[in-house]
Chains A and B, each alone.
Chain A
Amino acid sequence: MSFQLNCPNCGKRAVSEFTFKSEFKNRPAADAEFSEWTDYVFFRENNMGRQIEWWYHRSGCQSWFLAERDTLNNSDHKSFWYGDLGQHSKNSDGEA
């Protein structure tokens, strides 16, 4: 893995500066079924294609952000703040 990731603060940097957390998922409600919790904690979509992920700029500005990445080739990804998730989804829907 040697691709460059776009930090919304710092711009394009080597991916080795970042920590990957997980695919983006919504946390289940506190009283959700236990099976929903096991899905949340242990199961991954593991998409072949585009998916939204949590990344942390560990060796840089130490900010959390979301990146939509193509897991097939890491190319042409889009990074944005968590607060802009709604806007991002709207834009993506528009494209599709």
Chain B
Amino acid sequence: MAKRITKHQNCELPNLGEEISFTFNGKRIKAFTGDSITSALIASGNTLLSRSFKYHRPRGAYDVFGQGHESLVSVNHEPNMLADSIQVQNGMVVKSQNVWPSVEFDLGEVNDLFVPMLPNGFYYKMFHKPKWLWPIAEHQIRKVAGLGKIDVTGKHVHRRYEKHYRFPDVCVVGGGPSGLAAAKGALDEGKQVLLIDDNTQLGGHSLHSIFPVNNCENESLNGLPENQAVQKLIKELAANPNLEVMVNTSVFGLYEDNLVAAQSGPDLFKIRSESVVLAPGATDRHLVFENNDRPGILTARGVEKLIMCHAVLPGEDTVVVTTHDGGFHTALLLKGAGANVVAVVDGRESGSAGEFEEQVRNLAVPVYKGLTVHAAHGKKRIRRIDIGPISGGDSHKSFDCDLLVMAVGFKPQVNLLSMGRKRPVWDAERQILRVTDLPSGMYSTGEVHGSAGFTRLFGEGIKTGKAAAKKKSVESSKRSEDELIMALPADIESGGKNHFICKCMDVTRYEAQASIDEGYDQVESLKRYSSMGMGPCQGKACHEAVARLAAQDTGLSSLDAVPTTMRPPFSGVSFGILAGRAPHLSPISRTPFHQCHIDLGAKFLNAGQWKRPDSYIDPQKEAGYVRNGLGMIDVSTLGKIEISGPDAIDFLQFMLPGKYGKFEVGRTRYSIMVGEDGILFEDGTISHLEQGKYYLSTTTGNQDAINALFQWWLLVEDFDVQVKNLSLANAAVNVTGAESREFLQKLVKIDMSNEAFPYMHCRQASIAGVPVSFYRIGFTGELGYEIHFPSEYGESMWNHLMAEGEEFALNPFGVETQRILRLEKGHFIPGTDTDALSSPYETGVGFAIKDDKVDFVGKAFVQNFKERGIENKLVPYQLEPNDPIPDDGVAVLEKGKIAGRVTSSRLSPTLKRGIGLAWVRNEMAETGNNFTIRLANGSDVVATVLDHSVYDPEGLRLKS
């Protein structure tokens, strides 16, 4: 049984902190503040943490560093948290996932009995035919597959996700001995260093090593055991003000130009540095043998961590399987903690015994040479193991034990290095997958190039840190004879069908071979078909085994062991982290009248970044105000661009398709804008306000793009012109309705009469001492004036107009009302009623083009459109009274086939029937022609093409 230990013969035990408690599957568990969830659970005898993905096999703690999937639990209703990496807090609620009814008794376990019926790709094969079966099967599969459940109520998680940015000179990833040394090397060169580690404290594997330090270039560390040496080093570094340390922070991605992405709780860090040093270290190698997934099988470093960092002895009768002196180090730590070490099984045939091997032999622990583990027995906890030759075959011997420690060499954590666009290759000398050639500015050091003693890791780290500081290249030093660890065969071929290569996705060697037999004999297709390495750990645990076994089973040599591509994220990243604080990141723009709209009870809508009043009471009613009297709308979101300078007219002639040769002061004109491809993308008005000064208004949301476009053209073409973007400097309202003239005349001294200030003209004046400009245009179809004035007068001007307008029953109206009003006039909105294929002629604004000019933007294609004629046409239409109103975007049909689409559709308050704009084929576009609109519910209505706007076709009202 596992237990908490109070003394150790070989080392000091850590201070565990205060006693607290939490619940695991409803059961109260005692713990200490220094515990991880895993260490507390093991200490209290909870071997079983989770069930496997497919066969629901029992799984327990394995590596204790959060690399695998075994420790995935839900913590305080947040799913898929790694129990290994989370520090216990008092009152925490921890639950197992993917189990029913409980982790101890899981009915899904029956899957394990039906292994032959659940081969790879069985989803694709089994429920394919008949067709009706799939939806039923899918429902069942979804119920049992997958991992944690998301708390969709949002009741339990109150998190605010934030993004942070860091710009250190050198960013060091990994706080083990190599990372610490690299940080020191860079600090010694006077650099600002950011050091990141995903554990709760710095120190890496040195924290639980008592290997003595010798011949270290930092002489003050010599003679100390490794755990004390690393603490001394950490203390020394902590005093340096140029160092920032982030623990509990996992780097999940490495991107171009040294962009490092890291997650710490609800915080995302984007780190950009001159140099990145990767020192992610190595983990105990994953060995494949019969029942290698059973609870009670732990990695050596995991066991060491449990003993030395948490004072937890994870078992009583122990067998250590090893291939290097580190395994004997673990055995000694187990022995010193009071465990019964039944045997140490060393895969090496011969070779000189290391320091710890001698110590272990001196304690009369039986040591078996040239053998390794063949199989584990026991279900929820191992009971017994068999050992035999490393080449497999028959087993020699069995031991009863409840803890099997795996110390069969180290697997470099190459994922982050590999994200630097280089594939790892098998290094036959070092017997590991290695990435050597990193892009410039990226460095790597430490056990990622093969395990080594503290002294070498320290020396190499310092050298790499200094090189990173100076941006010079550096090579990883050779490993000495006694540092090299021979790899065992990736799979110990001892019979049985439960040799798990990928524990996350429950893929065995047997299944992998079956997939290869089916033709998936490339490692990438094998991965996709069998789903090996596609589970929660994303191959961190198994990619080496997958690569080696895939090479072996497809008849390649060990040198051809290539793992599948490693991509971000390296560790699980919550969606909240990626989304950030709000659902969208763009800033919110409010008009100067925003508070007035709130006071009037407006309902808002998002128009690009803008908040605009959709309506105040009811769009149909508001339309009535405009049609029968007086209304006012906030149009501050229009783009407003001032163009002046000696070549202003030439510039307009070039930028716009119209002609401006005779453009007198006081005139306003409608204009469209086309791109070089001749496609209409914008319309607005252009006014000649003062001699040589022109004022262009564009649609909402386009102002920045149009300003940028103008700036570009000014750069590449030779015009002496100034373009000023006044979009935010000026606020604007449109006062419209038959009574607008009478109302405004009351406020200004200039003559507003139809003779003095006709339709499509502009004037300057002042209202209440504020300079304003008037543009008499007619988007709503009524007599109307756009009033532009400096934004800083926004609220007071709005309130002044509302107060003065009271006697004329002035009412505000919203964007939805405006859309209805303009639709009654048949006016289109670029981007709403047009798209990237809309030629100006087909849109019906060919009149705005004068293509006999020498040159203008889009001339070649506009002329081409003209020659090609009209294929489709944007037409106004009306429905019969009482016909339902189609949704925007529904299809137009001709003889049962799609022949166009509705772009805008509304109920006309004037005609009391549906009206709209639709793209139809030219032959359908004749006035009076009928066409069919297919509603979203599948029924049809018949529309009639109009040749004019439904409201005031002669434009008498707006010209009155």
Contacts and interface: CB of A to CB of B under 8 A. Distances in A.
B114 interface: no
Contacts of B18: none
Contacts, number: 48
B708 A56 contact: yes
A19 interface: yes
A86 to B, nearest CB: 14
B712 A64 contact: yes
Q: Which of B440, B708, B711 lies at the interface centre, i.e. has the most chain A CB atoms within 10 A of its CB?
A: B708
Contacts of A54: 712
Nearest to B858: A41
Contact of B677 (A1, A28, A41, A58): A41
B726 to A, nearest CB: 15
Interface in A4-21: 4, 14, 19, 21
A13 to B, nearest CB: 10
A27 B713 CA distance: 11
B711 A62 contact: yes
B712 A21 contact: yes
A40 B256 CA distance: 31
B259 A2 contact: yes
A80 interface: no
B255 A30 contact: no
A43 interface: no
Q: Kindly state the interface size class of chain A when it binds its partner.
A: 20 to 34
A37 B861 contact: yes
Contacts of B860: 28, 30, 32, 34, 37
A34 to B, nearest CB: 6
A28 B857 CA distance: 11
A19 B704 CA distance: 12
Contacts of B440: 75
Given A2-B256, A64-B711, A30 B676 contact: no
A4 B272 contact: yes
Interface string B844-888: 000000000011000111001000000000000000000000000
Nearest to B259: A2
A93 B379 CA distance: 73
Contact of A1 (B256, B715, B855, B859): B256
B865 to A, nearest CB: 12
Contacts of B704: 58
Interface in A62-96: 62-64, 74-75, 82
A62 B708 contact: yes
B257 interface: yes
Interface in B672-724: 676-677, 704, 708, 711-712, 715-716
A41 B257 CA distance: 32
B199 to A, nearest CB: 27
B861 A41 contact: yes
Contacts of B711: 62-64
B713 to A, nearest CB: 10
Interface in A32-58: 32, 34, 37, 40-42, 54, 56, 58
A64 B272 CA distance: 25
B664 to A, nearest CB: 27
A1 to B, nearest CB: 7
Contacts of B255: 2
Contacts of B272: 4, 14
Contacts of A37: 676, 860-861
A74 B859 CA distance: 35
Contact of B716 (A1, A4, A40, A82): A82
A19 B861 contact: no
A64 B255 CA distance: 26
Nearest to B255: A2
Contacts of B259: 2, 14
Contacts of A74: 256-257
A19 B259 CA distance: 20
Contact of B257 (A2, A19, A27, A32): A2
B256 A3 contact: yes
Contact of B864 (A34, A42, A58): A34
Nearest to B714: A64
Nearest to A56: B708
Contacts of A27: 676, 716
A4 B167 CA distance: 13
Interface centre among B256, B272, B855 (most CB of A within 10 A): B256
Contacts of B861: 37, 41
A1 B257 CA distance: 9
A41 B677 CA distance: 6
B257 A3 contact: yes
A67 to B, nearest CB: 14
Contact of A4 (B257, B676, B859, B864): B257
Contact of B715 (A41, A42, A58, A82): A82
A51 to B, nearest CB: 17
B256 A41 contact: no
Nearest to A4: B257
Contacts of B676: 27, 37, 40-41
Nearest to A33: B860
Contacts of B864: 34
Contacts of B859: 30
B714 to A, nearest CB: 9
Contacts of B854: 30
B306 to A, nearest CB: 39
Q: Residue among B257, B716, B854 with the most chain A CB within 10 A?
A: B257
A2 B711 CA distance: 26
A32 B715 CA distance: 22
Q: Of A2, A3, A54, A74, which is in contact with the most chain B CB atoms at under 10 Å from its CB?
A: A2
Interface of A: 1-4, 14, 19, 21, 27-28, 30, 32, 34, 37, 40-42, 54, 56, 58, 62-64, 74-75, 82
Interface of B: 255-257, 259, 272, 440, 676-677, 704, 708, 711-712, 715-716, 854-855, 859-861, 864
Given A27-B676, A64-B711, 16 more contacts: A1-B256, A2-B256, A2-B257, A3-B256, A3-B257, A4-B272, A27-B716, A28-B860, A30-B855, A30-B859, A37-B860, A41-B676, A41-B677, A54-B712, A56-B708, A82-B716
Closest 10 CB pairs of A and B: A30-B855, A2-B255, A37-B860, A2-B259, A3-B256, A3-B257, A2-B256, A4-B257, A41-B677, A64-B712
8 contacts: A2-B259, A4-B257, A14-B259, A14-B272, A30-B859, A41-B676, A64-B711, A64-B712
